[in-house]
A and B are shown apart, each in its own frame.
Chain A
């Protein structure tokens, strides 16, 4: 694919008639990772919810793989993008393997049975995220850091072209932050996956992403290479 994997064209986001931000333009290419930053309430989560079709855009177009998401079915979208959100369900008696395998949903038969290719994809995703050795543990019995790696494994097993991450490193210790970002970087460089990640952690933005988009006062405040994320800009973005 030559065009951007994800594109927002003059998008207005919000809930019903309440506009959170407007005139958002954004592109993420294959093999590129883009950070989404901004104050609390600036619309980062609302934008991500719009991109994953949880809420509709108030105006403008969201294109995934060159197609308007309005015209794509849930199944089509599932084959194109996967997500890691802040909160994760913690079903009881559900193993880490089960969790990662749930990412194979778009590829399994009507009964959801895993084929050999599905098992291989799950094992590969667990290897990349370093979660192979906790495969048989229940998701309720592991640490927050491990759980976030498992959720990333789930998203990788879905074999997406676009990975959407909503503040994925919150509450993680340094070691798990590094493990998480390294796994994402590997995915970007080896599989050419496009990544859009909202975050408050500017260190991670500098280390992990190529470009960043900043939301402020209901609009796109800045969009550019990560080396433009200077102290001065941060001071103005966060009103320090």
Chain B
């Protein structure tokens, strides 16, 4: 059991390292290009670091939501949480930009966090009224559609010069970030991950059900609040910096459970972070290189890789 865990971690770290290397060296720029160094450190490095940090955050957020809702196909994207975050970020951008205010990275994360938290609570309220996981997911997808529609309204009324930027961002992408911005994203993710460490123990108890968790001493109200805060912070950070990225949060925790053969949080939280990082590095590499110089949208790639995993989970459930 221990050997399997150690071997799986080793494999995951190696894979992530390899993907970091490939993301750094693969591309159209030739080494004798005078701007080669600049492309490596100014463009590829921040982009792969963004994929690493934000991909990890997204997968961990997905794992927390799956435990919380007792639902193996929950995740920030399917439950509409990413779209809520996107709506609030777009609203903050458009409203403040038209007022001539420049919004800082932290301000964007704040707006995104409000959107993510609001949708999580809405989904939680719905989950109190249904025990069916399909109903919960459908409700989340519907909330996601509503948020998308509202975001589209906002974009319609935005200034022309903002639309190009906004449109790129709303598609989900790790490109265009400076090292400094990635640093801020990493710092916020670090705070979220520190929160996760504090949640390791109660999450383990919550896996056995709310009633049993309470009976061993978990303060359910405090735990719920903490979990919503941490998972919203993680998915909000991703959305604020990279836009909504689909399926990573659902698919990665499932793949990690399969690989590690356990769902225990002390193993899963680090595993999901690494797995999410590797998944996003791979997806971003495919998006960038598959039809180079044309770039694919990141969410299209993550959907193609991640959605079949969700289908596999669903089929496994109804076996």
Which residues of A approach B to under 8 Å, CB–CB?
52-54, 73-75, 77-79, 81-83, 85, 87-89, 91-95, 98-99, 102-103, 105-106, 108, 110-113, 136, 154, 158
Contacts and interface: CB of A to CB of B under 8 A. Distances in A.
A76 B266 CA distance: 25
B208 A54 contact: no
Contact of A112 (B201, B211, B261): B201
Nearest to A95: B262
Contacts of B260: 93
B214 interface: yes
A74 B70 contact: no
A78 B215 contact: yes
Interface centre among A52, A89, A91, A154 (most CB of B within 10 A): A91
Given A94-B263, A103-B216, 10 more contacts: A52-B211, A74-B214, A79-B217, A85-B212, A92-B72, A93-B257, A94-B262, A95-B262, A108-B201, A136-B1
A105 B206 CA distance: 11
Given A93-B261, A98-B262, A82 B215 contact: yes
Nearest to B203: A112
B211 A83 contact: yes
Contacts of B1: 136
Contact of A89 (B200, B209, B219): B209
Contact of B216 (A93, A106, A136): A106
Nearest to B258: A93
B205 A92 contact: no
Closest 3 CB pairs of A and B: A89-B209, A78-B217, A112-B201
Interface of B: 1, 70, 72, 197-198, 200-201, 204-205, 207-209, 211-212, 214-219, 257-258, 260-264, 266
Contact of B201 (A54, A75, A79, A110): A110
Given A74-B219, A111-B266, A154 B201 contact: no
A54 B243 CA distance: 41
Nearest to B265: A112
B264 A98 contact: yes
B204 A74 contact: no
Given A98-B264, A111-B266, A89 B217 contact: no
Given A105-B201, A108-B201, A89 B262 contact: no
20 contacts: A54-B211, A77-B215, A77-B217, A78-B215, A81-B215, A82-B216, A83-B215, A88-B209, A88-B212, A89-B207, A89-B208, A89-B209, A91-B208, A92-B72, A94-B262, A105-B216, A108-B201, A112-B200, A112-B205, A154-B208
A103 B209 CA distance: 12
B212 A111 contact: no
A158 B208 CA distance: 14
Contact of B212 (A53, A102, A112): A102
Nearest to B317: A92
Nearest to A101: B204
Contacts of A136: 1
Nearest to B261: A93
Contacts of B216: 78, 82, 102-103, 105-106, 158
Contacts of B204: 102, 105, 112
Contacts of B266: 111-113
Given A91-B263, A136-B1, A102 B208 contact: yes
Contacts of B197: 111
Contacts of B218: 74, 105
Contacts of A93: 257-258, 260-263
B263 A105 contact: no
A213 B147 CA distance: 55
Contacts of B70: 89, 91
B207 A94 contact: yes
Nearest to B316: A92
Contacts of B215: 52, 77-78, 81-83
A106 B217 contact: yes
B264 A83 contact: no
A92 B217 contact: no
Most buried by B among A77, A99, A102: A102
